[in-house]
Amino acid sequence: MTDPTPAQRAIGDFAPKLVELTDTVLFGDVWARPELNRRDRSLVTVAALVASGAFEQLPNHLRLARDNGLTEDEVKEAIIHLAFYAGWPKAMSAIQIAKTVFTD
């Protein structure tokens, strides 16, 4: 038996179609496309989450970004840059989440 995916752990049987789409389409297809590497996809994803204020998704994607090769300094610089485009409060919230993730 394989370990459950992050989507399976988060959602389980509550919304199995969403889990299936997350696992097969999003991470099985979109994230596997060769036009962008996983590191760049992580940077784009983190930026989109910060810009949209989707902070509940940010810790997992920051950990994934770290696993995909983004450094702590790169994440901090991206958040600083986003402060001027996405808003200061969003950047302040995101940097606190990043601090927690990178100090764990």
Is this prediction's pTM over 0.75?
yes
Question: What is the average pLDDT value for the chain, to the nearest integer?
Answer: 96
Q: How confident is the model at residue 1 (pLDDT cuts 50, 70, 90)?
A: confident
* Residue 75: per-residue pLDDT: 98
Residue 97 banded pLDDT, cuts 50, 70, 90: very high
Question: Closest by alpha carbon to 61, among 97, 35, 89, 93?
Answer: 97
State the amino acid at position 82 in one-letter form: L
Q: What is the pLDDT of residue 20?
A: 96
- The class of domain 37-103 in CATH terms is mainly alpha
Q: In the chain, where are the structural domains located?
A: 1-33, 37-103
How far CA 84 is from CA of 12, 42, 64, 69, 73, in Å, comes to 38, 20, 25, 25, 18
pLDDT for residue 2: 85
- Structural tokens at position 79: 């958040």
pLDDT digits (tens, 9 = 90+) for 31-57: 999 999 999 999 999 999 999 999 999
